[in-house]
Amino acid sequence: MSTVRERSVPRGAAGRGTLWPYLLIAPAVLGMLYLLLYPLARAVLISLQDFRLRQLVLGDADFVGLRNYRTLLGDPEFWEVVRRTFVFMAVEVVAIMVLSTLVALMTERLGRVARTVVLSSLVLVWAVPVVAATTVFQWLFHSEFGIVNKVLTGLGFASYEGYPWFAHGAAASGIVVVLIVWQSVPFAAITLYSALVTVPAELYESARMDGAGAARVFRSVTFPLIRPIFMLVLSLEVIWTFKAFVQIWVMTRGGPGEATTILPVYAVQTALARQRYDLGSAASMLTVLLMSGVLVLYFRQLFRQEGEQP
């Protein structure tokens, strides 16, 4: 598609050698420079300085080289946060990808009415604002009047009567994971579903005539065809779950104890609660570094999808 587009670009006098295109992109470029690149450069700088409350007020920060990074990397608590971030990410991404693939496969096989109902409910979940969803989950898992405890007690698990979910590390982590998965599955499922419907039905027919079972058809026909979109969704979900901040901040502030403190939460706590802006920035930059590997994969997939554009 892109080659057609390239050729159809008008080659008149207005298209070449004038200042117009540069004037048209100038506001966007200025925005990116001042609102993205400058803060990023500033973050790198702060992470190389001795920057605490005093320097915030007086503004005479000293350059200390890589000291903040050395402090962080030598701190076992930081490594615990990194480990926790990866565990959260892995559990969430596996759950999201498995569930959304199943939902997409199911949706494709449904009748017209049922399919519309399923897709509409997915879109509805997608639309619920993060803060609202987080508040609702706090209410669902409320110790005294929450519906979850009542249902569990009603089913005969008497130990859940008045169970304080947010007081136990494992339970609070579980709720965070469930919330993030619940919010992320709709995007993944709908995207995978729209990839699935592009698979020609004849391919299934012939595979089935060759005697392939459902699992075999999925492995050797369906999956290879939706693989590009699957990888795209996978890398997006890795990035999104890696930097999930709002849900955790609103729900647990990283607690109880440190149980739900993942990297972005740790960085903000270090900087804004303990006034160690330098260490917080260094942690943020390490987060960006860890994410950039996945980002590269995402971009490669994206540009392969886009053809030779941009």
Partner 1 sequence: MSTPRPRPPARRTLRRLPLNAAAALTVVVCLFPVYWMVTTAFKPSTDIQSYDPRLVPGAWTFEHFRKAVGADGFALFWRNSILVTLSAVLLALLVALGAAYAVARMRWRGRRQFMLAVFVAQMAPWESLIIPIYIISRDTGMLDRLVTLTLIYFMITLPFTVVVLRGFIAGIPPELEEAAQVDGCTRAGAFRRVAFPLLAPGLMATSLFGFITAWNEFTYANFLIIKQQDSRTLPVWLSSFQSTFGTDWGATMAASTLFALPALIVFLALQRHVTAGLASGGVKG
Query: By CB under 8 A, what part of segment 281-310 binds partner 1?
Result: 281, 284-285, 287-288, 291, 295, 298-299, 302, 305-306, 309-310
8 A C-beta contact, residue 252 and residue 260: yes
Nearer to partner 1 by Cβ, of 87 and 121: the residue is 121
Count the residues in the chain: 310
Q: CA–CA separation, 310 vs 296, rounded Å?
A: 16
Among 135, 200, 223, 257, binds partner 1 (CB under 8 A): 135
> For residue 62, which phi and psi values (nearest 5 degrees)?
-95, 145
Interface region with partner 1, contact rule CB under 8 A, candidates 67-75, 76-84, 87-95, 277-285? 277-285
Residue 272 near partner 1 by CB under 8 A: yes
Strands (E), 21-67: 49-50, 62-63
Binding segment for partner 1 (CB under 8 A), chosen from 6-14, 70-78, 87-95, 164-172, is: 6-14
Q: Is residue 182 at the binding interface for partner 1, with CB under 8 A as the rule?
A: yes
Residue ranges in 159-178 that form contacts with partner 1 under rule CB under 8 A: none
Q: Which is nearer to partner 1, 125 or 171 (CB)?
A: 125
What's the CA gap between 60 and 290, in Å, rounded? 30
Q: Which of residues 32-61 bind partner 1 (CB under 8 A)?
A: 32, 35-36, 38-40, 42-43, 46, 56, 59
Q: Which of 88, 160, 165, 193 binds partner 1 (CB under 8 A)?
A: 193
Q: Which is nearer to partner 1, 170 or 289 (CB)?
A: 289
Tokens of 211: 């005697």
Those residues with Cβ within 8 angstroms of residue 301's Cβ, 6 or more apart along the chain or in another chain: 228, 231, 232, 235
Sign of CA dihedral 143, 177, 185, 205: negative
Residues 6+ apart with CB under 8 A from 172: 165, 166, 251, 252, 255, 256, 259, 260
CA distance 12 to 19: 14
**From 96, 196, 232, 238, residue interacting with partner 1 (rule: CB under 8 A):** 232
Q: Is 111 in the site for partner 1 (CB under 8 A)?
A: yes
Window contacting partner 1 (CB under 8 A); options: 67-75, 88-96, 169-177, 200-208: 200-208
Which of 3, 21, 200, 206 lies at the binding interface for partner 1 (CB under 8 A)?
21
Nearer to partner 1, 163 or 277 (CB): 277
Closest alpha carbon to 143 in 169, 166, 177? 166
Single out the residue of 81, 82, 97, 133 in contact with partner 1 (rule: CB under 8 A): 133
Candidate list 201, 209, 210, 211; residue touching partner 1; CB under 8 A: 201
Spatial CB neighbours of 59, under 8 Å, sequence gap ≥ 6 = none
Q: Smallest distance from the beta carbon of 245 to partner 1, in angstroms?
A: 5
Q: Do 241 and 180 form a contact (C-beta atoms < 8 A)?
A: yes
Tell whether the torsion through CA atoms of 139, 145, 151 and 152 is positive or negative.
Answer: positive
Give min distance, CB of 237 to partner 1, in A. Answer: 10
277 lies in the binding site for partner 1 (CB under 8 A): yes
Based on the shown chain and the rule CB under 8 A, indicate whether residue 24 belongs to the binding site for partner 1.
yes
Among the candidate windows 68-76, 79-87, 90-98, 246-254, which touches partner 1 by CB under 8 A?
A: 246-254
CB-based burial label for 74 (10 Å; 0-12, 13-18, 19+): exposed
Q: Nearer Cβ to partner 1, position 87 or 295? A: 295
